[in-house]
Structure 1
Amino acid sequence: MAAVGIGLDDWRAQGRTLLFHRHEIRHWMAGPVDAEPLLLIHGFPTASWDWHRLWAPLAQRYRVIACDMLGFGDSAKPRHHPYSLLEQADIQQALIKHLAIDRPVHVLAHDYGDSVAQELLARHQEGRVRLASCVFLNGGLFPETHHPVLLQKLLLSPAGFLVDRLFTRRSLAVNFAKVFGPQTQPSEAELDAFWQLIAKNGGAAVMHRLIRYMPERREQRERWVTAMQRSDVPLRVIDGAVDPISGAHMVARYRELIPQPDCVLLDGIGHYPQVEAPEQVLAHYLAFRDRLPPTDAPQHAEAV
């Protein structure tokens, strides 16, 4: 099944708006209304367009759902907001409620979105949300194995607000060149699209606030790792092995800490496997899902 991409303009045209505490959250949905729901959660510093190569193939089987989280992409980017991973999980739950999803949700997450998914796993354990499965792409599941690039370190420093002002499309290209695989570098057109999404609504000015997810990961580590260790939710990691941030070294730690670890390493692939190797990600994701029993269908499925 080919992973056919969607141009950014076409992607944006398909979006809808949800109000969350008076902030506009752009979201997308596709696929059969009565199919199993699949929530896609994007990473930092990009947006849900990251999934555009997987969107149509996944929508052939599942009811795919995604949003640009607060501070990202085409959603609101309030300048002085105290951004939090916990609030981003609240947004995912608000989206599920808004779309009247009344059955367990499958999750496919990446990077920053992995942390949001970990919080959802912890809430599943607490009976606050119902998950059916969770697959992580490259992300900082364990703070001790997360190796931030220099830009992330600078954003987290007291001078982070100054770094925002110096961040440009060229800065993005330089940093992405370091984290993508050597043979799977982003094209100029992809970099243009990524930059448009970051720059929309003055987004570069809030990056030093969004980066606070890094200490928040440390604060929540025990809760989130315990949730993964005790989870009754099927888990898989699909990871670009040469990612310097959260590549093979993160998977090695996952295998140490998580019982019966289900891990797939993609040779030569970097931090953005859904962009660099979408057909491999799709194949490994579908193989994972094909092993799972279907969740119960809702009694009254309605179009949204």
Structure 2
Amino acid sequence: MAATLEAWQQTGKWFSYGGHAVFSRMAGQGEALVLLHGFPSASWDWSRLWPMLTRHYQVLALDMLGFGFSDKPQSYRYSIEDQADLVQGWLEGLGLPEVHLMAHDYGTSVVQELLARDQEGALGFRISSVCLLNGGLFPEVHSPLFIQKVLKSPLGGFISRGLTKATFERSFRRLFGADNQPDGDDLLDFWHLLNYNNGRGILHELIQFMEERRCHRNRWVGALQQANQPMRLISGMADPVSGAAMVRRYRELVPSADVVSLRRVGHYPHFEKPWDVFSAYRDFRTNLLTPPEQG
């Protein structure tokens, strides 16, 4: 059973990164599986998938700096590279020799940077496998919502501070499949996470990751193309931001692309259809343990 937002927070722990408090959760036993969330939400996105995963793995998640229950410093230079430093330092500090990664949206860019570092021999742990959920892996086919475009614009600071609950809900609902719309309580939770620690005031800073994706496009796409690890993309095809077009591009550019497409599912497959995502992930991990047939 998925935890309430209050229970999610109460069973978490904080650690320090650059003098800032970062929220994290760990549960389960077995091989380490690290979950990285998207924008503009938090680790709580994984709450419906969490009970299924923790039966099989040691599952770790955190709210990256500027998100969820973590600190949200003003006048901070938020970047994907800095978030990758945060995740790398956290995992190395825990002394984990190897990890499996699962990431969504913003978190997929962090994984791409970590893969690039892995290929450079710059990580203190081994990445054993990667599972990606809807994210802007290829900036040329990413289609941001109108609210995301204006947040990124010079007016972004005014827009983020003046964002109303009604505007947020209207835009956020567009990301979900028609059959899997969040209910009122879900939307209240997402809104609470957004506002916690004055988070609404830094949205225009966080969203600059879209420009980073363009600047680092060759490095991050190259990391996917050169990855030696098994990878699977699980994609909600009704996602208006990074759905069907992203899948087509993934198949074009990534060798031996392993893709599971979920019809009528939007941008948050792990929240909309957690059992389908778990089944696809379990099959992926099971296949890693099955030796290839001898020809």
Normalising TM by the smaller chain, what interval? over 0.9
**Residue 88 of structure 1 is aligned with which of 80, 83, 90?**
83
- 1:106 equivalenced with 2:103 (yes/no): no
Gapped runs of 5+ residues in structure 2? 291-295
Structure 1 CA distance for aligned equivalents of residues 90 and 282 of structure 2:
24
**Residue 113 of structure 2 is aligned with which of 81, 97, 119?**
119
- 1:75 equivalenced with 2:75 (yes/no): no
Amino acid at match of 1:29: M
1:163-202 → structure 2 map (5 Å cutoff): 163-202=159-198
Amino acid at match of 1:10: A
The Cα shift of 1:97 comes to 2.2
1:246-261 → structure 2 map (5 Å cutoff): 246-261=242-257
Amino acid at match of 1:84: S
| TM-score, reference length from structure 1 | 0.93
SS in 2 for 1:127: coil
**Residue 54 of structure 1 is aligned with which of 49, 60, 65?**
49
- 1:42 equivalenced with 2:62 (yes/no): no
Structure 2 CA distance for aligned equivalents of residues 291 and 116 of structure 1:
25
Amino acid at match of 1:26: F
Amino acid at match of 1:188: G
Find the counterpart in structure 2 of residue 141 from structure 1: 137
**Residue 281 of structure 1 is aligned with which of 270, 277, 280?**
277
Amino acid at match of 1:243: D
The Cα shift of 1:170 comes to 1.5
The Cα shift of 1:36 comes to 0.7
Structure 2 CA distance for aligned equivalents of residues 270 and 232 of structure 1:
29
Query: RMSD over aligned Cα, in angstroms?
Result: 1.0
The Cα shift of 1:293 comes to 3.5
**Identity in percent:** 47
SS in 2 for 1:53: coil
Matched residue pairs, number? 288
Is the contact made by 1:169 and 1:191 (CA closer than 8 Å) also made in structure 2?
A: no
**Residue 25 of structure 2 is aligned with which of 25, 28, 32?**
28
Structure 1 CA distance for aligned equivalents of residues 165 and 234 of structure 2:
28
Find the counterpart in structure 1 of residue 10 from structure 2: 13
Cα deviations across residues 166-218 of structure 1 (Å, max 9, x unaligned)?
21222221011211001110011111111111100000000000011000001
**Residue 128 of structure 1 is aligned with which of 122, 130, 133?**
122
Find the counterpart in structure 1 of residue 233 from structure 2: 237
Structure 2 CA distance for aligned equivalents of residues 172 and 53 of structure 1:
22
| TM-score, reference length from structure 2 | 0.96
